[in-house]
Structure 1
Amino acid sequence: MNNPSLFEQLGGEPKLRAIIDRFVDRVFDDVMIGFFFRRANRQRIKAKEYEFAAGHLGADVEYTGRPLAEAHAAHPIMGGQFLRRLKILEEVLDEFEVPPEVRRHWVLHTEANRGQVTRDAGSDCDPIAAAQRARSTKEQTR
């Protein structure tokens, strides 16, 4: 017997479509990052987000969008904006009570693609990590 895919554990197409609808609506309407989507077609973004998520969750769904780096190249997306989108994703996954294994995979997959989306792939706007890097650099220069 095969183990169910993450897509199946999530609840399949109906559940994923509901999550994507809520997530994209939140991103489009967000005061911090919504401006990136002023000229975007909301329904098209929902379709591409669904394909992308379904694919990395193990569904037999083909992603028909452009490669991530190409799709985001024209947008000056910074680390903090990437983290804002990630925070919205985490909140939506919590709202829909996504199983922990599926949630963990989705968040890690998103983080793994950061370098293809942001202009500052090494910046994470995390004050704790920044302080740790600063201490490490200071210790190395002694």
Structure 2
Amino acid sequence: MDNPSLFEQLGGERELRTIIDEFVDRVFDDVMIGFFFQRASRERLKAKEYEFAAEHLGGPVTYSGRPIAQAHAAHPIMGGQFMRRLRILEEVLEAHDVSPAVREHWLAHTEGLRAMVTRDSGGRCDPVDAMKRVQERGKE
């Protein structure tokens, strides 16, 4: 095999399902964003997240869910909440020793969805950076 897909580089279906299971569990249980999922089916979301990730990683899977903007339209997701989900994804990918190439693609792909998901025009509210700015103002 000359050029394995990112899906294959990751380890295929088994590894991706393991990553998605942990990621969705962490998102559902997160104190900052878990409330968005109170009425959602954890298993259904795992299935859709698997399809979505497998497809954009070049796997032999087609995403069968609604378009991303439509799926998130009813939720008032702000930039900081988007960042929290992205950070959880990053932590899970790191915990599973996902290669830099796969990790960078996955995170960049997710970042590219920001404007379709968030309500604050793609806001980049990062709670850590916000705290640093507050601390810097206090030093002036």
So what's the TM-score if we normalise by structure 1? Answer: 0.88
Amino acid at match of 2:33: I
Structure 1: which 5+ runs fail to align? 132-142
Amino acid at match of 2:36: F
Deviations 1:28-81 (A, max 9, x none): 000000000000000000000000000000011010000000000000000000
Structure 2: which 5+ runs fail to align? 134-140
1:139 maps to none
Q: 1:93-132 to 2 correspondence within 5 Å?
A: 93-126=93-126, 127=129
1:77 maps to 77
Deviations 1:69-104 (A, max 9, x none): 000000000000000000000000000000000000
Looking at structure 2, the residues matched to 50 and 110 of structure 1 have their Cα atoms a distance apart, in angstroms, of 14
Percent identity between the two aligned chains: 71
2:50 maps to 50
Does 1:14 find its partner at 2:23?
A: no
Say which SS state the counterpart of residue 61 (structure 1) adopts: coil
Looking at structure 1, the residues matched to 97 and 59 of structure 2 have their Cα atoms a distance apart, in angstroms, of 20
Amino acid at match of 1:22: E
2:67 maps to 67
Q: 4+ runs of 1 displaced by more than 2 Å?
A: none
Looking at structure 2, the residues matched to 59 and 2 of structure 1 have their Cα atoms a distance apart, in angstroms, of 16
1:122 offset after TM fit, Å?
3.2
Coordinate RMSD, CA, aligned: 1.2
So what's the TM-score if we normalise by structure 2? Answer: 0.89
Q: Does the 8 Å CA contact 2:114/2:122 hold for their aligned counterparts? A: no
> Number of matched residues?
129
Looking at structure 1, the residues matched to 95 and 122 of structure 2 have their Cα atoms a distance apart, in angstroms, of 30
2:26 maps to 26
